[in-house]
Structure formats: structure tokens, C-alpha cells
Amino acid sequence: MVVGAFVLQAVLAVPLLLTRRADRHARLPFGPAMVAAAALTVGISSLLAR
């Protein structure tokens, strides 16, 4: 179970990295795309952790 959670977090980190890159390209230090991707990651993780 722990390995599955670790793999899930690694997979969900990819959109975070991509949105961070998009926000930096737009010259936003911590932009809305990063916030949305982080919220989605936390939501999916908490749903699957139940």
C-alpha cells in the first residue's frame, strides 16, 4: 500500500512540475496553474487514501 501511494505521488507530481514551468514562463512566482494543480493533487491523494 505504501509503495502504491509513493508511485501515485510521483505520477501526480508531473502536472505540478509542468504547471510550475508554465507559471515561470508567464513570470508568475507562484501562479494560478500551480495552485490548481496542487489542489487537484491533494484532492486525488486524499480520496485514494481513504
**pLDDT 10s digits, 5-39:** 777 777 877 877 777 777 677 776 666 777 777 78
21 CA to centre of own chain = 12
Between vectors from CA 34 to CA 29 and to CA 40, what angle results, nearest 5°? Answer: 160
Q: Identify the pLDDT of residue 29.
A: 67
d(CA 23, CA 33): 7
The single-letter DSSP state of residue 47 is H
Question: What pLDDT, on the 0 to 100 scale, is given for residue 37?
Answer: 76
- Cα angle, residue 40 at apex, residues 35 and 42 outer, rounded to 5°: 95
- State the total domains in the chain: 1
Q: What is the pLDDT of residue 2?
A: 65
